[in-house]
Amino acid sequence: MQKLLILSLAATSGLAAIASSHSNTPASLKEVYAPFFTVGAAVKETHFEGREADLLLSQYNSITPENLLKWEKVHPTENAFFWDHADAMVEFGTRNGLEIFGHTLIWHNQNPEWVFKDAEGNDASPELLLERMRNHIHTVVGRYKGRIHGWDVVNEALNEDGSMRESAFYRILGEDYIAKAFIFAHEADPDAQLIYNDFNIENPEKRAGTVRLIRKLLDQGIPISGVGIQEHVRLDWPSRELLSEAIAEYAALGIKVMITELDVDVLPSAFDNQGADLSLHAELRDELNPYPNGLPEDVHQALAKRYGELFSVYLEHADAIARVTLWGLNDGGSWLNHWPMRGRTSYPLLHDRNMEPKPAFFKILEVGATAKYCH
Ligand code: GLA
């Protein structure tokens, strides 16, 4: 009876009413979704103290570094690693009992140029590049063995049509670079969850390519434990059906599904089907930056509705989904203010520029609280 009352209040009046049945403390994302999956945020090195840390610890039980473990950040020159920020993140996560995911080991972007060159400035030989991959992965994964719980081992290896992306890794090593990356990561930490991560893999062609790739790895006995659907989505893409089909198809492979980089772009798209292709750039025009002074209430509501829909799909697949990670803590810190052009005012996350919760946040709590009760 008491729980029913909480539910009906939750459905009408947001956070204040979504109290746990044991206290009057407002529930948090991590509490409400605890029966189903962990809820994470992408973090920056400035997030481990002050208001950012408070918000992080009050709502989330999982973290992923947005940039600080990318190759160019952690291993900028051949013989030097830069650990300060990654160490601070792992220390913060460990001290606070958070699940920590590493992002990312092998990706075509944000690599220093030396990785692909030999001493003469020519393309590195396959042997040299493979040895560099081994050293990079063993050193980074090995340093945080047992403390970083899983890794995006390979990020974005596929084109939109599902074929292999012509990255420098692919050009020099062929498709086998993917299997090798997983093997090296497994050698460095046999207990870590090892993920293939990509964007737009809800779409049928790219999804088919992803399924092909993962099946092949599984058939070869490669230690892959999950697929990361990035989920840089829009108000109208992907549809509920498309997303649900994609999750079901990945789950049918017998691996974990993770939503790894969730945000919802409410600004007009500069391209068709942009996904998160960082090579795309566009000129800033007023019509691409329609809300420089704040988000109108109707768009707030549309965003909340969309987040509610996404989380209701995740809940339908709760048996398959291990984690849902938001790609940032608040709107002001989102990459979508800078891409595909600088100077836009973006609103893709759950907390605003003052770190205040948005209607989207309350909507997700409401959806989770209802499901928690039914669970
Ligand atoms: C991709 C990458 C992330 C990040 C986003 C944009 O999704 O996986 O690391 O760079 O693009 O922030």
Tens of pLDDT, residue by residue over 301-327, are 999 999 999 999 999 999 999 999 999
Residue type, 360: A
Residues of the chain with pLDDT under 50: 1-23
- Cis upstream peptide for 104 (omega within 30°): yes
Which candidate in 52, 66, 99, 156 is catalytic? 156
How much is the pLDDT for 372? 76
CA distance linking residue 104 with residue 169, whole number of Å: 14
For residue 362, how far is its CA from the centre of ligand 1 (angstroms)?
A: 26
pLDDT score, position 212: 98
Judge whether 156 counts as a catalytic residue. Answer: yes
Q: Tell me, what's the pLDDT at 283?
A: 76
Q: How far apart are the CA of 6 and the centre of ligand 1, in A?
A: 38
Ligand 1, atom 9: nearest CA belongs to which residue? Answer: 66
Query: Does the C-beta of 335 come closer than 6 Å to ligand 1?
Result: yes
CA–centroid distance, 44 to ligand 1, in Å, is 13
Instruction: Answer yes or no: 99 catalytic.
Output: no
Q: Are 105 and 154 in contact (CB under 8 A)?
A: yes
Residue 275 is predicted with a pLDDT of 65
Residue 345 class from Cβ within 10 Å (0-12 exposed, 13-18 middle, 19+ buried)? Answer: middle
Report the chain's terminal Cα–Cα distance, integer Å.
Answer: 16
Ligand 1 center–CA 327 separation, angstroms: 8
Atom of ligand 1 nearest to the CA of 103: 9
List the catalytic residue out of 66, 231, 249, 261: 261
Q: Is 199 in the pocket of ligand 1 (CB under 6 A)?
A: yes
**pLDDT (0 to 100) of residue 23:** 46
In angstroms, rounded to a whole number, what is the distance separating the alpha carbons of residues 375 and 363?
18
Distance CA 334, CA 327 (A): 7
Ligand 1 atom 4: residue of nearest CA: 66
Is the Cβ–Cβ distance between 186 and 194 less than 8 Å?
yes
Contacts of 375 (CB under 8 A, 6+ apart): 35, 36
At residue 83, the 3 state secondary structure works out as coil
For each of the domains in the chain, give its residue range(s) and CATH number, in order of start: 3-374 (3.20.20.80)
101 lines ligand 1 (CB under 6 A): no
Q: How distant, in Å, are the alpha carbons of 135, 145, 179, 209 from that of 188? A: 10, 7, 14, 28
Q: How far is the CA of 276 from the centre of ligand 1 (A)?
A: 7
pLDDT value, residue 14: 45
- Atom of ligand 1 minimally distant from the CA of 104: 9
Atom of ligand 1 lying closest to residue 70 CA: 9
Tokens 């990706």 sit on residue: 107
Nearest-CA residue for atom 5 of ligand 1: 276
Q: Which residue has the least CA distance to atom 7 on ligand 1? A: 276
Ligand 1 atom 6 nearest Cα: 335
Ligand 1 centroid, distance to 367 Cα (angstroms):
27
Ligand 1 atom nearest to CA at 278: 11
Q: In this predicted structure, what is the pLDDT of residue 274?
A: 59
Which amino acid residue places its CA nearest to atom 12 of ligand 1? 335
Give the Cα separation of 308 and 300 in Å (integer): 12
Q: What is the predicted pLDDT for the residue at 17? A: 44
Residues in the chain: 375
